[in-house]
Structure 1
């Protein structure tokens, strides 16, 4: 078969969106260019386009039937950010015979719309002429959203760090300059404030590291036996020890519970965040229920945390687990629930938000029983 031909057959095998025109070996996989998420344009050895998939049509706003058979520089007129014609600058069919392609870069379509373009030069022999030109297109919207999200994350964390660091710097400078002038009680109060602010900085840095690991899929789960009722009681006692009324909490256990293998530190992080949100943003009694629950693949443990406050507005529920979401009572970085969701999903579990029977907010997460660490 002449894989370089640009003349479409009439039996449909070489129709736009068909891989038969250039690689019949992939056809048993049932793969079509239209199945690819990125734009794909393929030109033959004469520089004429014979493949232009659906993603390329969407990105360029051109119909495949209007492009097939055209020279690639007319089918896909591109300019670099300096206004130079990309095909003239790169000259894929000329120049050095050792070139294998072009790395991804930002280019402009007619009208100034920005796209990410990379190219591969397929040669019949290592230094032979270009046999096939394969061009990949991507829109820039997703990358720009990611860049904006990263910029927002940096700005938010920088803002949150400024306050405690300013406090630490102020108190330590004052103590160093005027140590003898303060009473022991005053020194103790100032050092306690410095310690609290240092803890706040540590938490912010830990959140930043957690987000980095979640986004990159590198969040490590070290599974050990976890006694969920004991963990819940420990967190409730912590709030009571910090001054909360014991009557504000109600723990409901539904037994028997399956054995749970999870990361104890990560489970503590999830419970701490959900309970703190219920205490800080909710009202009335906070109810924590621990019960067995089926998951998609096996049995598991479900934990439900609910309060009797005003709840979360319906229009906000879809955004609760996104970065920087904050409730009606502003405060914090707005990253806690995003991290909670990442931790739960890293365990293979699920988390959802809804309205409690008393009208307040209700968070419910389910963890599968898991397996011991030495079995994973």
Structure 2
């Protein structure tokens, strides 16, 4: 018995289902009900055939009933192999209607079998729709009228009471009328439900944010196109049928715990700025997650609705804005320092020049030629310093506005050219120079990089010339993604407290400091080429200026 029940159940399910017919859920549902009805009618026909033959001793009715059962089984076998559901339901109603009419014709309109006629319009309305219901209602009306007329004329069966016929037609009309009303209301409700479903699906499909649902196990049930795009298309982590609670990024980020907690408590949650790295594409995105538990009428959670917004681009814009704000703040600070220092550094020489003008007048009046020469040399030096400052300021102001063309540069040749430009100065002051061989060839802005070496070597000369055995060394180190070049001297060095500010505008360190603009210009030129600059030094032990340039 334990084996028979599951076998019967599997057979019934196999008969009721129809894999060939798919697409319209309502039609498929009707087809299954029709198959169940056919199966019931087949069993009922076999049952009554047995009763009629063995109990009531009839012979015609059992033949009709067995034939009906055979037709029903044949229909079940045949309809599983076609895809047109409308044709299948139409044939079913035709077979059912003809069978009921035939049984009533054989047994007589006044017998109890006539009540089966009431099922004909009901099934026609429910399974095939309003048109079929009206057709079979008319057929049944005409049938009852003709059979009653033939019976009362003595052609078939016995006499049928007129009142019985009238009552039967009235009841039949009422049943058909209410069946038609029900079918119309049902179709209208179905249409509204479909419109509402299409409307909600349209909103979800065209929503700019990702939307997907997961069941209580964490398995993805549905997801919209926006979510597919956010997740990475065909190589997405989140797909229908995937358990997101098992995904490594969900577990590591704590998102899986938030999902589980929301399903248990029924409380919504929100996670902002979550950095998600896809398992398949390794693409990094920044996302906002919002989980909303979907509850049944009894308050139990049935699934979780998840809204996902990709804010990677927005995050980049925000970071760019923050960087821009920092740069603007830095530029404003430099501008304030610039205004202050320029006004101070230009006013001070002018004040000194006015003082020397008075001294020159006195020297002329006193005819003191030696003092006059000395004062004029001091005035000339002040004027040269002012001219140098103005030249440096103009050079700094042009950075970013001048256009350069990147070209491939042999750095050994570039350094040799810079050394040649200052060779006389190096020779007069007894410098030893060492240039590392095998320097790379890089595509850079040549003129700015030449200026970088000029400034760094000039600084090395200035702060090393009074040391015994002055030395300047130029070389490089190769890193994974960049080359790091250096200019090293054995001069006075730079105090630790000054190193962090060394590249700031107008910052001066030591007695021989110049305008305080040269190293700022150097930093700007290095950054223009995508590099960075820094210094390593100990006071009294020289300094090494480093700057990097990317390989590509």
Higher strand share: 1
Normalising by structure 2, what TM-score?
A: 0.36
Q: Which has the higher contact order (CA 8 A, sep 6+)?
A: 1
- Normalized per residue, the structure richer in helix is 2
Larger-gyration structure (1/2): 2
